[in-house]
Structure 1
Amino acid sequence: MAIDLRKIEQTAPALVDLYKRAGVSLGKHGLRGQRAAVYLVVDHSGSMRPYYRDGSVQALADRVLGLAAQLDDDGRVPVVFFSTDVDAVSDIDLADHHGRIDRITATLGHMGRTNYHTAMDAVIDHYLDSGADAPALVVFQTDGGPGDRALTEKYVCKAARLPLFWQFVGFGDPHSSQFDFLRRLDELPVPQRRPVDNAGFFHAGKDPRRVPDDVLYDRLVGEFPAWLAAARARGILPAPRPAA
């Protein structure tokens, strides 16, 4: 159930427009009324410094929080920061979102290399420990391919049996070969490698803040309905309850 607009106006007025635009995108994709837990995973490797400095990561966090307020009612998004390993697991919420990314990263140490699988493991553990009965949409941001490619593929294929959809978002040069791995990951065959297509990828460019909100939301949720249908057909998610 979405958070009431009046609560957004009272607790996070800067997110009102994002909340409304997210609602429009959900409606376009037949997702109005859909419940989902929303996670944000952000790359904290050394090459990400410019995106923290210019506010791109905070801007993405705000947009994801606006989307989460439409899909869940707790006003909070768990955030995993990763580089060589998991650097932090924290959260952003409506009442304290402004500058939250800087406050978290100020307490972190060395920005290491890029390994995806540890962050995926942290999300899976958090989701299973939460006891959630809704599916999860995981927004996974990175500015390059991982050093742990074989492990990442293994995790994506194993996680396909769980009610988690991984939406990868690239920051940086869209023509860089760094993102070839994510494009291949997006196309891992079904059912040979995984029971359902549980991952998507899109590139937000060198200045992700310039991607219009409605375009970003369309890309974040565009593949989610097909995954929901496939996951229900394979019994990964229960069939929707008929309307009373």
Structure 2
Amino acid sequence: MAAISLEKVERSAPALVSLYKSAGASMRRNGLEAVRAAVYLVVDYSGSMRQYYADGSVQALADRVLGLSAHLDDDGRVPVVFFSTDVDAVTEIALDDHRGKIDRIVAGLGHMGKTSYHLAMDAVIDHYLDSGSTEPALVVFQTDGGPINKAAAERYLCKAAKLPMFWQFIGFGDRRSKQFDFLRKLDELPVPAKRVVDNAGFFHAGSDPRRMSDAELYDRLLGEYPQWLAAARARGIVTDG
């Protein structure tokens, strides 16, 4: 059973009902109906992301993540970290206030800088630990390119493998770009030589991410989560959820 009922979604966020239903179908396909998790969204606010804010791609991703989170978490809210050279904002999106929320947040942010994964990862880890959550976390991490400090990003991911957190990276942009080679490397870091469990996945959403169907997006978001959950439980990293 979903953490938030269809009836509540219909009342609080009617525009997200179809996303909620699509996410539920993907949860069933992946055997995750009974799973609970804290859901996070991390979005790239570097200069090259400007087009994806302007054309609604970031808002569309936020709405889709909200539709999924309603199955996994009962508070109707998703913490969101905006990052570029530094962490630009740690805020949230909610079912009952999702329309245009990304534009409203971005209107209060400053210069769009470069890309520092590890600072955003640190912000998510801090938020999760401070929250006192007893559920594992699913972190949806969107970017359109590689980080300015690759060594730090790899180090944070490997250290975070000891925590009940799974990082699902999503690439926006040209599928042929070398910018995503590092994310492919992160996805394939060896276990146990580099990290205690495989705690990350990566997929590419293309140059127009809105064109990826809801069903495909949710299946990609959830595709590696069951394997991570089993491995993390086996290692005692996850004890519930």
Deviations 1:43-97 (A, max 9, x none): 0000000000000000000000000001010000000000000000000001100
Instruction: Name the residue aligned to 1:213.
Output: 214
Instruction: Name the residue aligned to 2:144.
Output: 143
Measured in 1, the distance between the counterparts of 2:118 and 2:132 equals 22
Instruction: Name the residue aligned to 1:24.
Output: 25
- AA aligned to 1:14 is A
Matches within 5 A, 1:41-60: 41-60=42-61
Does the CA contact (< 8 Å) of 2:134 and 2:240 recur in 1?
no
Instruction: Name the residue aligned to 1:237.
Output: 238
Identity within the alignment, %: 73
Instruction: Name the residue aligned to 2:169.
Output: 168
Name the SS for the 2:49 alignment partner: helix
More divergent stretch after superposition (41-50 vs 231-240): 231-240
Measured in 2, the distance between the counterparts of 1:94 and 1:237 equals 27
CA drift at 1:179:
0.2
Instruction: Name the residue aligned to 2:13.
Output: 12
Measured in 1, the distance between the counterparts of 2:110 and 2:56 equals 19
CA drift at 1:239:
6.0
Measured in 1, the distance between the counterparts of 2:238 and 2:136 equals 7
In structure 2, stretches of 5+ residues that fail to align are none
Measured in 1, the distance between the counterparts of 2:91 and 2:148 equals 24
Instruction: Name the residue aligned to 2:62.
Output: 61
Name the SS for the 1:111 alignment partner: coil
CA drift at 1:172:
0.1
- AA aligned to 1:115 is S
Name the SS for the 2:206 alignment partner: coil
Instruction: Name the residue aligned to 2:120.
Output: 119
- Show structure 1 runs of 4+ deviating over 2 A: none
Measured in 2, the distance between the counterparts of 1:239 and 1:73 equals 16
Measured in 2, the distance between the counterparts of 1:121 and 1:238 equals 23
User: How many residues align structurally?
Assistant: 240
TM-score by length of 2: 0.99
Cα RMSD after superposing both structures: 0.7
TM-score by length of 1: 0.97
More divergent stretch after superposition (230-239 vs 112-121): 230-239
CA drift at 1:156:
0.3
